[in-house]
Amino acid sequence: MATILVTGGAGYIGSHTVVELVKAGYEPIIFDNFSNSKPAVLARLHKITGKNIPFYSGDIRVREQLEKVFDENKIDAVIHFAGLKAVGESVKKPLEYYDNNVNGSRTLLMVMRDKGCKNFIFSSSATVYGEPDSVPLTENSPVKRANCPYGQTKIDVEYMAEELQKACPDFSVTLLRYFNPVGAHESGLIGEDPRGIPNNLMPYLTQVAVGRLPYLNIFGNDYPTPDGTCIRDYIHVVDLALGHVAALNKLMNVPGVHIYNLGTGIGYSVLDMVNAFSKAIGHELPHKFAPRRAGDVVQCYADPKKAFEDLGWKALKTLEDMTADSYNWQKNNPQGYED
């Protein structure tokens, strides 16, 4: 079976994808520098899969560290998760974000080209669509200049990979635009473990639920939506992981640039999420209304039809699965991965 290099494989989405790759018969190799993850995830992956997943400690910006992996293994494809992802931090540290995300991806693509590995799957984001003119978003919706350095790095890497594909037409470049990943593996052994106070809604909800934080601030309740709060397309991380397996199954060695939205197609408001979460924990989750957060788009959800038609993939898990699995992970690991 094919060997897949998973950069950022110790992270939230990467670790869940490694599990689904093993289940599908692929042989993943993890490459990570633990800048936003912990070594403890490797033992958890062993527990879930029963396999010792090969691991390389390294940084995608360091060519020699990447070359070592390609020299020691025949890599059939790369799924590229490694990157920094905090919108607010990217505004404060734009150069660090361009260095890690853009230079890192460029180094990875150079090594792939030079070592003859032609299958590249990239973690892009719905953020490339900016403030949508209309929803749902299809892959043909316009990509706009991003409103933060993080988003711009996603656009830049998309373009860079597309340009490489033009220059090297036998490359298979797949750009997967994720909507809002939430949830955790049903075992409760792996999940999202942000450093410091979470920026994203779901980890904030789970940390309030276990008493690490006192209450949720809902950013804005005067948006032009039915309940006044913003609408997003939350997708269970296991469904998202399976989207990568579907992409590998269909697109490995299929030259071209392949772009897919990975979302459910359903938009939920922040209040919908709070209510669903309250149901999962059996009491109302403490929350307050707060001013709007700068940069938030009003609504953002996918038209996921193309992924279903081409890849046979669609998200199957419900909002209840997402809240229950997120809560289960946080309950079992109130302080996240402890090292």
Residues acting as catalytic residues: 150
Nearer to ligand NAD, 84 or 245 (CB): 84
DSSP secondary structure code for residue 129 in this structure: G
88 binds ligand NAD, rule: CB under 6 A: no
Helix-, strand-, coil-residue percentages of the chain, each rounded to 5 = 40, 20, 40
Dist CA 232 CA 298 (whole Å): 8
- Residues 184-223: x/- map of binding to ligand WQD (CB under 6 A)? ---------------xxx--x-----------xxxx----
Binding of ligand WQD by 289 (CB under 6 A): no
Q: Tell me if 277 contacts ligand NAD by CB under 6 A.
A: no
- 14, 32 Cβ separation under 8 angstroms: yes
Which of ligand NAD, ligand WQD, none does 13 bind, CB closer than 5 to 8 A by kind?
ligand NAD
Q: Does 156 bind ligand WQD (CB under 6 A)?
A: no
Which residue's CB is nearer to ligand WQD, number 27 or number 321? Answer: 321
* Pair of tokens at residue 230: 């913003």
Instruction: For residue 144, state whether it binds ligand WQD (rule: CB under 6 A).
Output: no
Q: Which is nearer to ligand WQD, 201 or 319 (by Cβ)?
A: 201
DSSP element (H, E) containing 190? none
- Least spacing, CB of residue 222 vs ligand NAD, in Å: 25
Site string for ligand WQD, 122-141 (x = CB under 6 A): ---x-x--------------
* Binding status of residue 100 toward ligand NAD by CB under 6 A: yes
Helix (H) or strand (E) holding 164: helix 149-167
Measured on CA atoms in the order 155, 79, 304, 150, is the torsion positive or negative? Answer: negative
Closest CA to 179 of 274, 266, 242: 266
> Using the rule CB under 6 A, is 236 a contact of ligand WQD?
no
Question: Exactly one of 55, 56, 171, 178 binds ligand NAD (CB under 6 A); which one?
Answer: 178
Question: Could you say which of ligand WQD, ligand NAD, none residue 259 binds, taking C-beta under 5 to 8 angstroms by partner kind?
Answer: none
Strand pairing class (216-219; 287-290): parallel
Options 35-43, 161-169, 204-212, 283-291: segment touching ligand NAD (CB under 6 A): 35-43
Could you say whether residue 98 binds ligand WQD (CB under 6 A)?
A: no
When asked if residue 296 is in the footprint of ligand WQD (CB under 6 A), the reply is yes
Q: Identify the three-state secondary structure at position 218.
A: strand
Q: Is 157 in the site for ligand WQD (CB under 6 A)?
A: no
Which SS3 state, helix, strand or coil, does residue 124 take? strand
Going through 139-223 in order, the beta strands assigned E by DSSP cover: 172-178, 180-182, 216-219
Contact 28, 21 (CB under 8 A): yes
Question: What is the SS3 assignment for 68?
Answer: helix
The alpha carbon of residue 75 and the mean position of all alpha carbons in its chain are separated, in whole angstroms, by 22
Q: Which of 29, 56, 75, 83 binds ligand NAD (CB under 6 A)?
A: 83
Strand order in the sheet with 231-232: 268-269, 231-232, 299-300
Residue 122 main-chain phi, psi, to 5 deg: -115, 135
Binding site for ligand NAD (CB under 6 A): 7-8, 10-14, 32-37, 59-61, 81-85, 100, 104, 123, 125, 178, 181
Binding site for ligand WQD (CB under 6 A): 85, 87, 125, 127, 180, 199-201, 204, 216-219, 230, 232, 270, 293, 296
